[in-house]
C-alpha cells in the first residue's frame, strides 16, 4: 500500500527567489554580526531568538524577536520558542502551490526565505569531564534541528545556513545576483544541513549508548548502528593511485590517536600512512615500559622495550633492519634527543613517527639533520591514556558493514595454563607475555619470535600456520631463533609448526590451544623439551 501524499497543484514557479526575511538562531556566534549586517544592508528583515537576538541588538542591528513575530511567548525555559506554525509554515510553504500560499494568507504566515541555525553544542558538552546526564539531555536541541530540516526540505525556496564558514560566500552571491542564491547553492547548503542533523542525532545516540554501562556488556550490539564523520581532509589517493580517499574524524572522539593528533610538518599523511600509524600506535600502547614499534605494510617488523628509550629504538630497528627502512614508528614516551639522534642516523629512513610528544631538540634534529627530514611526518597525540572500549571496530563489505568490539584483552589478564612437562622459567614467562602482546597485532596466521625483549621474527598473513613459522624463523636467523620464545595467534592444527620452531632452537611457546590435535602438539613439545602454555584466547586479525 502506498502512503505517498497526493501531488499538490502548482501555480507557475516564481521568476526569482530573493531573500527578504531571515531567521537567525545560533549557538556558534562566529561571524554572526557581520553576516547579519550584510543581510540587513540588503533590506532583509531579521528574526531571532534568545542570545542571538541580544548579540545582534547589542551590535546595533535591527532585529525582531521570534515571540513578537509569532505572537506567542517563549516558555518552559526556552524549550518552546520556534515550534510554531508561523515559523514552520513560513519555512515549509511551497511558494508555487496555490493552497499553500492561500493558507499563508489566511493565517497571517509570512514567508521565511533564509534560516541560519547551528545547534546546541551537545558534542562539546558531553566531552567535558564531569558533565551530568541531566546537563547532556538539556543540550539536545529540538527546535534547531526542526528548523534546519524544514528549510533543507524546502530548499527550492528557503536557503539553510548551518556553517559560519559559508557566511562570506553567501553574502557575496547575494550581492552578485541581486539578493538571490543559485539553486545549486541552495542544494549544496541543504546537503550540508542534513549531514549536520544526521551527525547530531548520531552523537546523541552514541552518548545514550555509552550511558548504559555494565548492562551493555550483556546485550547485543544495537539493531541500528549509525556512524558519521567529519572530513579532516582529502588524501592524495587511497591504497593505490587510482583510488580516491579522504580522512574523517568521528565526532566526539577523544582517545589519543591519529584522528585527534597533530601533524607537525612534513608531507601530508597518505592513506597507507594513517593505517600504519594506527596499527603501530595500537601495539605500542600495550607496554608500560619505554617501547618502540616499527611497522611496515600494516605489520610490526620491529618491537622492543627497554629501560632507556633510545635502547628500545635500537633494539626495535635491529629486529628487521631491512624492513625498517621507510617504515612507520610508534613510541610510547615523549621523543628525546638521544632517540631522535638514533632515528636520524645515516642509513636510516623513516616515513612517520607517532608519539605523545617531541622534545624541542628532538623535533629540530629529526626535521633538519637527515636529508629526508623535511618530508618526515611527526604526529603528536598527547598522553596515551586509556583506550575507549566503546569505540567499536567497523569494517565495510559490499552492501553492508561489520561491527565488533575492539580486541582490548590484555595479556596480563589471561590465565596461562602450563600443558607441558616443563614449565616456563620466570624469564621465559616475561618473554612469552611480550611475544603474545605483539602477536595480537600481526595479521593472521600470525607467528612471532621474541628474544631478549625484542621482536626477532614475524610470520604474517599466511594461509598455512607452518608457513608463518617458517617465515618467522627465517627472519630471526639461526642465531636469534636459538633460545627464542614463540607466540601463535591461534592453535597449532598439527605438530609440524611446533617441530619446525623446535628445530630452530625455540625454547617456549604460548598459544590458545583448542585443536583436536592438542595432545599431539603437547607430545611434540615434550619430546623437544619445550615449555608451552595455553591461554584459551585467540587473537585473529584479518
Strands 327-331 vs 291-296: parallel, antiparallel or unpaired: antiparallel
- Residues 154-157: contacts with CB within 8 Å, 24+ apart? 154/91, 154/92, 154/93, 154/94, 155/186, 155/187, 155/189, 155/190, 156/17, 156/94, 156/183, 156/186, 157/17, 157/93, 157/94, 157/95, 157/111, 157/113
Cα 367 to Cα 376: distance, rounded to the nearest angstrom: 7
Q: Do the Cβ atoms of 247 and 233 come closer than 8 Å?
A: yes
* Residues sharing a CB contact under 8 Å with residue 400, sequence separation 6 or more, in sequence order: none
SS (H, E, C) 361-414: HHHHHHHHCCCCHHHCEEEECCCCCCCCCCCCEEEEECCEEEEECCCCCCHHHC
Q: Do the Cβ atoms of 26 and 54 come closer than 8 Å?
A: no
153 is annotated as an active-site residue: yes
**Which of these is catalytic: 29, 153, 192, 267?**
153
Q: Do the Cβ atoms of 319 and 442 come closer than 8 Å?
A: no
**Which of these is catalytic: 29, 249, 297, 348?**
297
297 is annotated as an active-site residue: yes
Strand partners, 48: 24, 65
Distances (CA, A) of 382 to 73, 292, 498, 525: 48, 16, 41, 44
Cα 362 to Cα 113: distance, rounded to the nearest angstrom: 56
Active-site residue list: 153, 297
Amino acid at each position: 500500500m502506498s502512503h505517498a501524499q497526493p501531488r499538490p497543484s502548482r501555480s507557475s514557479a516564481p521568476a526569482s527567489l530573493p531573500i527578504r526575511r531571515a531567521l537567525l538562531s545560533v549557538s556558534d556566534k562566529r561571524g554572526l554580526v557581520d553576516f547579519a549586517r550584510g543581510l540587513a544592508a540588503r533590506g532583509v528583515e531579521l528574526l531571532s531568538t534568545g542570545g542571538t537576538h541580544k548579540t545582534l541588538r547589542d551590535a546595533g542591528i535591527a532585529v525582531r524577536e521570534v515571540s513578537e513575530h509569532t505572537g506567542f511567548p517563549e516558555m518552559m525555559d526556552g524549550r518552546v520558542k520556534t515550534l510554531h506554525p508561523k515559523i514552520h509554515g513560513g519555512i515549509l510553504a511551497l511558494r508555487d502551490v496555490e493552497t499553500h500560499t492561500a493558507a499563508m494568507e489566511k493565517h497571517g504566515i509570512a514567508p521565511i526565505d533564509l534560516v541560519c541555525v547551528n545547534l546546541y553544542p551537545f558534542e562539546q558538552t558531553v566531552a567535558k569531564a564531569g558533565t551530568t546526564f541531566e546537563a547532556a539531555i538539556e543540550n539536545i536541541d529540538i527546535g534547531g534541528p526542526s528548523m534546519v530540516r524544514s528549510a533543507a526540505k524546502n530548499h527550492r525556496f528557503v536557503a539553510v545556513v548551518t556553517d559560519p564558514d559559508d557566511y562570506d560566500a553567501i553574502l557575496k552571491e547575494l550581492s552578485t545576483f541581486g539578493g538571490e542564491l543559485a539553486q545549486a547553492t541552495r542544494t549544496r547548503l541543504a546537503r550540508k544541513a542534513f549531514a549536520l542533523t544526521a551527525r547530531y542525532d548520531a552523537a546523541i545516540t552514541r552518548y545514550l549508548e555509552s550511558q548504559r554501562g555494565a548492562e551493555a556488556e550483556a546485550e547485543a550490539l544495537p539493531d541500528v548502528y549509525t556512524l558519521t564523520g567529519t572530513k579532516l581532509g582529502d588524501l592524495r589517493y587511497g591504497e593505490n593511485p587510482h583510488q580516491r580517499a579522504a580522512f574523517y574524524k568521528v565526532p566526539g572522539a577523544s582517545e589519543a590517536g591519529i584522528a585527534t593528533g597533530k601533524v607537525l610538518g612534513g608531507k601530508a599523511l597518505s592513506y597507507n600512512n594513517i593505517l600504519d600509524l594506527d596499527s603501530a600506535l595500537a601495539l605500542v600502547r600495550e607496554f608500560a615500559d619505554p617501547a618502540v614499534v616499527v611497522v611496515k605494510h600494516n605489520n610490526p617488523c620491529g618491537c622492543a622495550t627497554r629501560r632507556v628509550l633510545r635502547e628500545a629504538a635500537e633494539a626495535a630497528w635491529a629486529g628487521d633492519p631491512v624492513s625498517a627502512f621507510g617504515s612507520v614508528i610508534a613510541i610510547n614516551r615523549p621523543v628525546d634527543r638521544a632517540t631522535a639522534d638514533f632515528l636520524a642516523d645515516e642509513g636510516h629512513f623513516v616515513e612517520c613517527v607517532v608519539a605523545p610528544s617531541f622534545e624541542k631538540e628532538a623535533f629540530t634534529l629529526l626535521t633538519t639533520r637527515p636529508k629526508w627530514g623535511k618530508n618526515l611526518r611527526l604526529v603528536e597525540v598527547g598522553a596515551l591514556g586509556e583506550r575507549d572500549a566503546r569505540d567499536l571496530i567497523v569494517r565495510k563489505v559490499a552492501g553492508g558493514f561489520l561491527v565488533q568490539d575492539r580486541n582490548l584483552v590484555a595479556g596480563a589478564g589471561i590465565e596461562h595454563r602450563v600443558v607441558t612437562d616443563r614449565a616456563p622459567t620466570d624469564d621465559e614467562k616475561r618473554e612469552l607475555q611480550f611475544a603474545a602482546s605483539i602477536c595480537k597485532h600481526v595479521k593472521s596466521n600470525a607467528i612471532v619470535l621474541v628474544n631478549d625483549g625484542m621482536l626477532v621474527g614475524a610470520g604474517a598473513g599466511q594461509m598455512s600456520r607452518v608457513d608463518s613459522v617458517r617465515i618467522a624463523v627465517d627472519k630471526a636467523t639461526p642465531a636469534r631463533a636459538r633460545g627464542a620464545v614463540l607466540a601463535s595467534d591461534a592453535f597449532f592444527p598439527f605438530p609440524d609448526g611446533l617441530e619446525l620452531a623446535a628445530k630452530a632452537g625455540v625454547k617456549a611457546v604460548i598459544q590458545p590451544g583448542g585443536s583436536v590435535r592438542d595432545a599431539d602438539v603437547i607430545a611434540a613439545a615434550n619430546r623437544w623439551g619445550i615449555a608451552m602454555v595455553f591461554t584459551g584466547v585467540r587473537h585473529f586479525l584479518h
